[in-house]
């Protein structure tokens, strides 16, 4: 856009998109479906920046919807989620082929949410420790497969730790955690008994596997926000029901229940999480 010339209606500058986070939705007239389809076809052919900008503005509601949804389920700020979603939207625009007859929203929403999920799984402090252990287990498995393929004997654990660049204790912890997770030590997903009392989060049966799982769970609890940690401690250590805790904090029972369910779900995910998703590779082509 040249100096002194006003922006074309419906065009937002994307320089840089990651730093421009509208706190309120732009009040733009919705674009007709046929016009959007025409823009997608033209952008797919030419790849012009102005066309891309117009398409981004037209589809920002997809990002806002997902950012709102994820912000209610995590401690990540809405603006951060919006920025991540915009990256997913840009990737979707670059790769979308309108000639295939699919709706753009069907193609774009998984890429928008994928950016947010990748960030949450990779950066959220609640999830870091178990993922690193699982990644270490995958490295160990690859090492064993390579040696087996070469006809070499299995290395002792100490030698494996040296090959993997970790301590022996860390490798043993990862292997023990793998065994502990197979026991399904966490209770069923019911979050509250009929009488409103708290349901135990982890299996209380003694044993080395349970001890390891409890230690891993304690590490995760230390990574929670103080208020969230205090909330779980009141439920599981003091034995308060969710209704009693709601009265203590001055919250509604519904708010307590939603927060507790989210925390327990995240803890369960952390203790049984697979290795982190790889960062999406940007394809040089525009094909799906």
Position 142 in a domain: yes
Position 59 in a domain: yes
Do residues 58 and 170 share a domain? Answer: no
Do residues 132 and 252 share a domain? Answer: yes
Do residues 258 and 187 share a domain? Answer: yes
Do residues 54 and 146 share a domain? Answer: no
Tell which of 89, 123, 157 closes a domain: 123
Which pLDDT score, from 0 to 100, does residue 27 have? 47
Burial class (CB in 10 A: 0-12, 13-18, 19+), 253: middle
Which pLDDT score, from 0 to 100, does residue 82 have? 93
Which CATH number is 106's domain given? Answer: 1.20.120.1810
Position 106 in a domain: yes
CB neighbour list of residue 109: distance below 8 Å, 6 or more residues apart: 62, 66
Report d(CA 217, CA 48) in Å as an integer: 50
Total of domains in the chain: 2
Do residues 73 and 54 share a domain? Answer: yes
Query: How far is residue 94 from each of residues 45, 46, 114, 220, 249, measured CA to CA in Å?
Result: 11, 11, 16, 38, 48
Which pLDDT score, from 0 to 100, does residue 159 have? 92
Q: Could you report the average pLDDT of every consecutive run of 10 residues in the chain (288 residues)?
A: 41 42 48 78 86 90 90 80 92 87 86 83 55 80 84 88 90 72 40 42 42 59 77 74 83 86 75 42 41
Do residues 116 and 135 share a domain? Answer: no
Tell which of 99, 123, 147 closes a domain: 123
Report d(CA 68, CA 64) in Å as an integer: 6
Do residues 137 and 261 share a domain? Answer: yes
Do residues 63 and 99 share a domain? Answer: yes
Position 257 in a domain: yes
Which pLDDT score, from 0 to 100, does residue 1 have? 41
Do residues 259 and 179 share a domain? Answer: yes
Do residues 163 and 267 share a domain? Answer: yes
Do residues 180 and 193 share a domain? Answer: yes
Tell me the pTM: 0.39
Range of the domain at 259: 128-271
């Amino acid at each position: 856009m040249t100096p002194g010339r006003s922006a074309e209606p419906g065009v937002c500058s994307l320089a840089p998109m990651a730093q421009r986070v509208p706190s309120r939705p732009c009040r733009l007239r919705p674009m007709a479906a046929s016009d959007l389809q025409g823009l997608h076809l033209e952008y797919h052919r030419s790849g012009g920046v102005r066309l891309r900008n117009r398409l981004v503005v037209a589809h920002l509601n997809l990002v806002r919807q997902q950012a709102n949804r994820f912000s209610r389920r995590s401690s990540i700020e809405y603006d951060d989620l919006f920025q991540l979603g915009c990256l997913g939207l840009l990737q979707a625009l670059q790769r979308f082929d309108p000639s295939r007859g699919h709706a753009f929203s069907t193609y774009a929403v998984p890429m928008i949410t994928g950016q947010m999920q990748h960030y949450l799984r990779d950066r959220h402090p609640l999830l870091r420790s178990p993922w690193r252990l699982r990644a270490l287990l995958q490295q160990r498995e690859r090492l064993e497969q390579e040696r087996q393929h070469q006809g070499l004997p299995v290395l002792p654990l100490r030698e494996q730790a040296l090959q993997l660049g970790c301590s022996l204790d860390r490798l043993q912890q990862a292997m023990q955690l793998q065994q502990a997770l197979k026991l399904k030590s966490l209770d069923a997903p019911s979050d509250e008994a009929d009488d409103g009392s708290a349901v135990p989060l982890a299996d209380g049966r003694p044993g080395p596997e349970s001890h390891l799982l409890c230690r891993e769970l304690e590490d995760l609890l230390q990574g929670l926000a103080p208020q969230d940690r205090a909330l779980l401690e009141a439920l599981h250590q003091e034995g308060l029901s969710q209704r009693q805790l709601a009265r203590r904090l001055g919250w509604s029972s519904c708010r307590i229940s939603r927060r507790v369910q989210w925390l327990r779900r995240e803890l369960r995910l952390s203790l049984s999480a697979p290795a982190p998703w790889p960062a999406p590779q940007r394809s040089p082509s525009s094909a799906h």
